Structure 1
Amino acid sequence: MGVALTDDDNWVVSAAGPAFGICPDCSRRTRNRHGWFNRSLQDLPVQGKTVTVKLRLSRWRCARQNCERQTFTDRLPTIASPYARRTKRVAEIVGLLGHSTGGRPGERLMGRLGMPVSDDTILRQLKRDAAAAHCNSTIRVVGIDDWSWRRSWRYGTMIVDLERRSVVDILEDRSVTSAAQWLEQHPSVEIVSRDRCGLYAQAVRKGAPQARQVADRFHLMHNLRVAIEEQMSLSGRATGRALLPEQGIAGTQPDLDQPNATHRRRARHAHRQSWQTVFDTLHALQKEGFSCSEIARRTGYGRRSIAKWLTYDAPPDRRRAELKPTSPLYFEAFLTQCWTDGNRCGRHLFHDIKHRGYTGSFSNLERLLASWRRASRSSKGSAAPAPIICHQPARDAVPIRDPATGHVISPVVAAALCMKPRGMLTINQARKVDALKQGSHEFALMRSLAMRFRGILRGRELDKLDIWIDDAVNSGLVPIVRFARVLRRDISAVRNAVELPWSNGQAEGQINRLKTIKRAMYGRAGPELLRARMLPLNRPHHHTK
């Protein structure tokens, strides 16, 4: 063994192999040398200088005549893997830096430490380690959620082991097929935590029917807050639908005395009237000397929208989007004919328009048919069940203002305060809540429902859930009624969310980590590389060239 210093101040360590060989198949010693070969390995640096280990190894002939391996080379299992160009300790650092920093940052850092490695080598080893990694442990509780390759365009799926708090796998797409296939390959899964996405609920029913589904509690509270915000946004907003008579809306019934064109014309006229009212109000406030920000606070509209409308002399015409096969109105002529012929079963009509190219959902079609049924019952004068009376705010409702500043309380702020318990409110927030409760009966009712729902989730009071859903449905507030009916359709997962401690919080945190990694890799974040960097490091390393 020898140590030398090269002209460029790098270190070279020379060594020779053993004096005999051991066959890897039959484990028999031999001294019958077949030849020599040299091998160079990169090792840890010395004071920032590169160290190269040069080995002179032998190729041996096996001493056993019946052995299938005639020749073999010296093996160095404690130093380096076969065909590797770095020692195991260097390869371990390469894998660690590649997992933590990526390709080019890892290349710069390795060069500064005296172990030059290219970025392609780092990423190649990282991908190879991830491909060779196999999770042999039993996975019992998983969280499944989607993440975006490109927002509103393409999505993937992340699966997290909630017990070990680590990522299990990353799927390239968000589909029922891929998620169900993964669940079928892991029959040990007993509990699946998910958000309110029906796609993953269907995948669990298909791929793991034995598993219990758990709806994420954060998304339950978030959906309730969105419903409250939607209800509060109705206050003081005049819309074309509100200005129309009860049965004068386009597309509500195909079999009325007046043709559909008349209803569409009335709807457009009512919408234009509502736009004109808003337009005149904005210009009147501008003439009084208010800025766009102050007008936005007083009216609740967006500041950018107000600034755009103030540049016009008349309300701009709203162009109706072209109907697509995702809308049942795209097949309105066919549906009208079927309705006239007496075919009014939703499932049958859904099957028929599916064959004609309909790509929308059954619930979307049912909403249209439900409005047709209501209009048909009222036009015939037949006795029908009394509909739910919806407590919609009047069009001339006075907006509720902040007692401290006098500014209008926006629906977003009102919804956030509605979900917050009294003990967590500041003094100013408590004053806003009192003003909202005094000025809006709907807000007082929704706050009561929100606090009860929060108590059910935090107190694990499963026996009160059905009573709460019934009270929400009977509240008459359309967004709250819709939220309660969706809960009833997914009641088993909601019950498990109340009863079980699991949630999708760990999956949401891992998705934030994935977003950071994806943005730091400047477009090189393909599915294979993302999966390699998201999987945990506690797996064996397989070192290669």
Structure 2
Amino acid sequence: MSRFRCLDLPPSLVVDQVTPSDNTVQIEASLRDRSAVCPDCHIRTQRIHSLYRRTLSDLPWQGRRVTLRVSSFRLYCNTAGCRRRTFVIPLSDMTVPYGRHTMRLTDLHHYVAHALGGSAGERMAERLRCPVSADTLIRRLLSRMSGKPSARSPRVLGVDDWAWRRGHHYGTILVDLEKNDVVNLLPDRQADTLAAWLVQNPGIEIIARDRAGAYADACYRGAPSAVQVTDRWHLLRNLSDAFVAVVDRYARTATKISQKLCQSVSTDTGMRAQPSCLQKAQAPTRNASQAAQSRRETRFNEALALKAEGHGLQAIADMIGVERKTLRRWFRLGHAPTWKRTTTKPGILAPYTDYLDRRWHEGCHTAATLWRELVSQGFTGKYGIVWKWLTIRQATSPQQRSRRHAVPPLGRKLARLLLTDPGTLADQQTLFVRELLAAEPQLEKTTSWVRKMQNLLCRKSEDNLRLLLKAGRDTLLSRLVPALERDAAAIQASLVTSWTTSPVEGQISRLKMIKRTMFGRAGFELLRARVLPIS
């Protein structure tokens, strides 16, 4: 039977016949051993009662479905005191009792269900020529998960929450940071749930978490000997949010300083005589046109000299690099063309230019207002024509309008501006920051403290954390300092270790993707089965 080795069947089977067709392959096989042990009295017997056939689906072969028909035997039990009279020789190395699929096909279905879920897994299984329903895939995935032994406790654990429904229901994800594998999913983010899990899984040495109070309490209760590490990104985010809330109090001061600086800049600009925007825009075009005209005149003079020497029209065109028709047109004109329009067609706005000039001098500089006034006088053009005229007029006006209301940076923009390195700011921004901090000394003190905290958390300085938190009590963020002092040990650990919750955030992104591909149909147990790795 060496020709059937490619089928990779168990050695207990003997292949009798292989019948291929267009879409299927049917394999006839029988048992090599015709004796078995009684499941009740455990005494071997070989007395045959009858023939018993099992039909199993196996892994596909060459893109065809495989059906395995195994001829087994029902045997008599010869033991006088045994209650079982007959039994079937089990196929324990191929399938489970009452199973219709081989174990290796069941494993393939399990992997497909873990990767794709029910509906998508059903479509993939059909494509692989081992069809199975979506419900069967989910049932097999859950059955494997229910009998799965608990994983070994990790040495370094990452803890974070994930949203089952944002704002309503949250869970907890536990990740082995050394292997980047999900250890477990918890159905909520309560301290009691996490503490109970930590008690059941001893041996954890380091726990990386965010600043959530429930997780800190659970770690102290469930793993008191473990070193807790606070994620530095969450610390920076909490510090930034608190600083933005403080900066919002000074929005009025920032607006006044911004308007003051804008007015002073506008006054200085108006006193200096500068060329208009339109003149600046037209200057490169005018220079390019003059250079092109000079080149055409040079070529025309060369063509006249060659014609005087007796060269033909085509030869002259080849030597100076222009078309023959172009050269004939130049000779007909008697000079190089200037390509300038001698007459300009009046536009649709021409009859109303005097009225627009008068309204401009009266102080009306709004395109929508001018357009509506012209429409009432019979103007049939669109709004864009008036807007274009107004834009050109503003650019060519000797005294350009200054903005009455400056838009100051507020909220996060203002906070970012205050915390940015002064050496990288523009001159106007530097002047604005200097004026604002000079007007609000307490804000300047808070800004300086936040910069020091950011440098410390980003490992750009070696300041003492305890002294820095003590100095923060005199700033506008004094209400945040007590919470940071309670978590000072975990913050200090984050400065000297490399463990963060960044891998946990990556696993949360994967969890969200899996949850959304299930269309909200599945429950927590199925989501947990798909998120946990296959052992």
TM over 0.5: yes
Say yes or no: does 1:224 pair with 2:239.
yes
For these two proteins, the number of residue pairs brought into alignment is 370
Q: Where in structure 2 are the equivalents of 1:41-120 lying within 5 Å? A: 41-61=56-76, 73-120=88-135
Using a 3 Å threshold, how does the CA distance of structure 1 residues 228 and 16 change in structure 2: closer, same or farther? same
Alignment match, 2:139: 124
For 1:173 and 1:148, the matched residues in 2 are separated by: 10
Following TM superposition, by how much is the alpha carbon of 1:228 offset from its aligned partner in structure 2, in angstroms?
A: 1.5
Q: Tell me the alpha carbon deviations over residues 361-398 of structure 1, each in whole angstroms, 9 at most, x when there is no partner.
A: xxxxxxxxxxxxxxxxxxxxxxxxxxxxxxxxxxxxxx
Runs (5+) with no aligned partner, structure 1: 239-286, 292-404, 540-545
TM-score normalised by structure 2 residue count: 0.62
Contact 1:418 1:450 in 2 (8 A): no
Alignment match, 1:38: 53
What SS class does the counterpart of residue 196 from structure 2 fall into? helix
Q: Where in structure 2 are the equivalents of 1:122-271 lying within 5 Å? A: 122-237=137-252
Alignment match, 2:409: 409
For 1:422 and 1:3, the matched residues in 2 are separated by: 81
What SS class does the counterpart of residue 135 from structure 1 fall into? coil
What SS class does the counterpart of residue 478 from structure 2 fall into? helix
Alignment match, 1:328: none
Alignment match, 2:525: 528
Using a 3 Å threshold, how does the CA distance of structure 1 residues 155 and 102 change in structure 2: closer, same or farther? same
Using a 3 Å threshold, how does the CA distance of structure 1 residues 218 and 115 change in structure 2: closer, same or farther? same
1:145 partner amino acid: D
Contact 1:223 1:483 in 2 (8 A): no
Following TM superposition, by how much is the alpha carbon of 1:110 offset from its aligned partner in structure 2, in angstroms?
A: 0.8
Runs (5+) with no aligned partner, structure 2: 1-15, 254-363, 369-404
Following TM superposition, by how much is the alpha carbon of 1:438 offset from its aligned partner in structure 2, in angstroms?
A: 4.6
Following TM superposition, by how much is the alpha carbon of 1:54 offset from its aligned partner in structure 2, in angstroms?
A: 1.4
Following TM superposition, by how much is the alpha carbon of 1:89 offset from its aligned partner in structure 2, in angstroms?
A: 2.8
For 2:38 and 2:451, the matched residues in 1 are separated by: 70
Contact 1:228 1:415 in 2 (8 A): yes
Identity of aligned residues (%): 35
Say yes or no: does 1:20 pair with 2:17.
no
What SS class does the counterpart of residue 14 from structure 1 fall into? strand
Contact 1:437 1:443 in 2 (8 A): no
Following TM superposition, by how much is the alpha carbon of 1:83 offset from its aligned partner in structure 2, in angstroms?
A: 3.5
Contact 1:462 1:495 in 2 (8 A): no
Alignment match, 2:501: 504
What SS class does the counterpart of residue 480 from structure 2 fall into? helix
Which range is displaced more, 32-41 or 208-217?
A: 32-41
Say yes or no: does 1:494 pair with 2:509.
no
Contact 2:417 2:433 in 1 (8 A): no
Contact 1:20 1:31 in 2 (8 A): yes
Q: Which has the higher contact order (CA 8 A, sep 6+)?
A: 1
1:415 partner amino acid: A
Using a 3 Å threshold, how does the CA distance of structure 1 residues 63 and 209 change in structure 2: closer, same or farther? farther
What SS class does the counterpart of residue 235 from structure 1 fall into? helix
Contact 1:460 1:499 in 2 (8 A): no
1:15 partner amino acid: A
Following TM superposition, by how much is the alpha carbon of 1:201 offset from its aligned partner in structure 2, in angstroms?
A: 1.4
For 2:418 and 2:252, the matched residues in 1 are separated by: 20
Following TM superposition, by how much is the alpha carbon of 1:113 offset from its aligned partner in structure 2, in angstroms?
A: 1.9
1:109 partner amino acid: M
For 1:34 and 1:187, the matched residues in 2 are separated by: 55
Larger radius of gyration: 2
Contact 1:37 1:56 in 2 (8 A): yes
For 1:195 and 1:84, the matched residues in 2 are separated by: 48
What SS class does the counterpart of residue 464 from structure 2 fall into? helix
Contact 2:172 2:187 in 1 (8 A): yes
Contact 2:251 2:410 in 1 (8 A): no
Say yes or no: does 1:10 pair with 2:24.
yes
